[in-house]
Amino acid sequence: MKKKIIVTGGTGFIGSHTVVELMEAGFGVVIFDDLRNSDIGVLDKIEKITGHKPDFEQVDLSNQVATEAVVSKHADAVACIHFAALKAVGESVENPLLYYRNNLFSLINLLQAFRPHSDTAFIFSSSATVYGQPDKLPIDESSPVVPANSPYGNTKQMAEEILQQSVEAGTIKSAISLRYFNPIGAHSSALIGELPKGLPNNLMPFITQTAAGIRPDLKVFGKDYKTADGTAVRDYIHVVDVAQAHVVALNRILDEKSKAAYEVFNLGTGMGFSVLDVIKSFEKTSGLKLKYHFAERRPGDVEQIYADTSLANEELGWKAQFNLDDMTSSAWNWEKNLRGIK
């Protein structure tokens, strides 16, 4: 029997890539998702890549009764990887209660449902937003968690605290929070990638949709940051690198190699790239000239942030393998395949 892993938000961008890596590593997967920001057709794409379709449960995890029922149905799962969350910084500033209700209630309901199954390993999809605007760079895991710049970032900070305290209380036996920076790119098959419903909030799908003619042009938010070219700097990491890190972290818990019941690791490349760097890379790998213009800074955005990944490199034995050109070219291949562009 394959070990069963619950993946919440498994039809989403990072979730679907992680499901592929889990299945290719020999795990059985059941996805919990409400399809709010993803599509059921992703299951067929995963099947084309792996040869198997993951099990699927459509469920709103912010509903306690529904969550307890679906977890009970899959009580034989050995682990849960929790991606399901709303993630747009700007939207969270405009509608904070939506984010607190969805992101925190879903985690609390899951942890409550797992209480009778406390041996279930738990991996949490956290974020570099927990660091806010850092005083020094690069950021390692000992860097202070400062007041968040957005309700989204605050939900990640609060969720980590809830998870750590739940481990300390014995609600669950062990957990790892993976704080990833800015995942972009797509699977080499070009069958799965980042496809938000409606207007994209993240840079890469906005770039590819602009290049595909779906958006008239790209807005670059802010050109007066204290960076080399005035645009915001992020640590962009290939989504497949992020997905593979989840498999490594999962095996760390299952093989009982964790050094503490609750651990935290940064996932990034350790390099900062500006918005204009990403645009230049995309133009180089696609051979296209991108139409863009500058706009005002967005509320909640930090100026620059990139990771110190030594802990993940040394403790997990994981290191990002893909470079920025790999990320932009794979994202464009996904967009072209999706739109039927030759």
152 assigned to active site: yes
**3-class secondary structure for 219-252?**
EEECCCCCCCCCCCEECEEEHHHHHHHHHHHHHH
Contact 176, 266 (CB under 8 A): no
Other Cβ atoms closer than 10 A to 261: 15
Helix/strand/coil for 22 = helix
Instruction: From the candidates 152, 180, 236, 306, give the one annotated as an active-site residue.
Output: 152
Other Cβ atoms closer than 10 A to 39: 15
Counting runs of H as helices and runs of E as strands, what totals does the chain give?
12, 13
Q: How far apart are CA 334 and CA 331, in angstroms?
A: 5
CA atoms within 13 A on the CB side of 8: 26
Q: How far apart are CA 202 and CA 215, in angstroms?
A: 14
Q: How far apart are CA 330 and CA 286, in angstroms?
A: 10
Q: How far apart are CA 120 and CA 115, in angstroms?
A: 9
The pair phi, psi for residue 169, each rounded to 5°, is -85, -5
Q: How far apart are CA 34 and CA 57, in angstroms?
A: 8
DSSP code, position 100: I
Q: Where are the beta strands (DSSP E) in 111-239?
A: 121-127, 175-180, 182-184, 218-221, 233-234, 236-238
Partner residues linked to 304 by β-bridges: 233
Which residues have C-beta within 8 Å of that of residue 51, sequence separation ≥ 6? none
Which residue numbers are catalytic? 152
